[in-house]
């Protein structure tokens, strides 16, 4: 049973527009959420995170929103750039453990 799900395996966006990546979770005990970005042949790199006590965290072009009642988080990238093309994983933390979603491949077209 997947506790963290990314229902969209891929997303295509025009350069300059907003990219919205979604993630759903089932365990209400998760206390921290993270987004990782992964390029081919590289390990995932940390992008942005949010504590469960907050509903929004912003860092430059990246904003993460958390809706605890819906057990849903999203990553907004605006404006999207071709270099943002990668696989994005959401992850949820509990007791020092991260549970990852299946990833969403973002393609930003010039």
Partner 1 sequence: GAGVSQSPSNKVTEKGKDVELRCDPISGHTALYWYRQSLGQGLEFLIYFQGNSAPDKSGLPSDRFSAERTGGSVSTLTIQRTQQEDSAVYLCASSFDAYEQYFGPGTRLTVT
Interface with partner 1 by CB under 8 A: which residues? 6, 32, 34, 36, 41-46, 49, 89, 91, 93, 95-103
**In this complex, which beta carbon is closest to partner 1, that of residue 95 or of residue 110?**
95
Q: Dihedrals φ, ψ of 2, to 5°?
A: -75, 120
Residues in the chain: 110
Cα separation of 71 and 28, whole Å?
A: 7
Beta bridge partners of 108: 13
CB of 101 vs partner 1, minimal distance in Å? 6
**In this complex, which beta carbon is closest to partner 1, that of residue 17 or of residue 46?**
46
Side-chain-side CA neighbours of residue 51 (13 Å): 2
CB of 78 vs partner 1, minimal distance in Å? 23
**In this complex, which beta carbon is closest to partner 1, that of residue 71 or of residue 79?**
71
């Amino acid at each position: 049973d997947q506790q963290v799900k990314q229902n969209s395996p891929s997303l295509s966006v025009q350069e300059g527009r907003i990219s919205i990546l979604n993630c759903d979770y089932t365990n209400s005990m998760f206390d921290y959420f993270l987004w990782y970005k992964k390029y081919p042949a590289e390990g995932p790199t940390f992008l942005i995170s949010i504590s469960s006590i907050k509903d929004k965290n912003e860092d430059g072009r990246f904003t993460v929103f958390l809706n605890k009642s819906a057990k849903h988080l999203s990553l907004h990238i605006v404006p999207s750039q071709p270099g943002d093309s990668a696989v994005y994983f959401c992850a949820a933390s509990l007791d020092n453990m991260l549970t990852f979603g299946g990833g969403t491949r973002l393609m930003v077209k010039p």
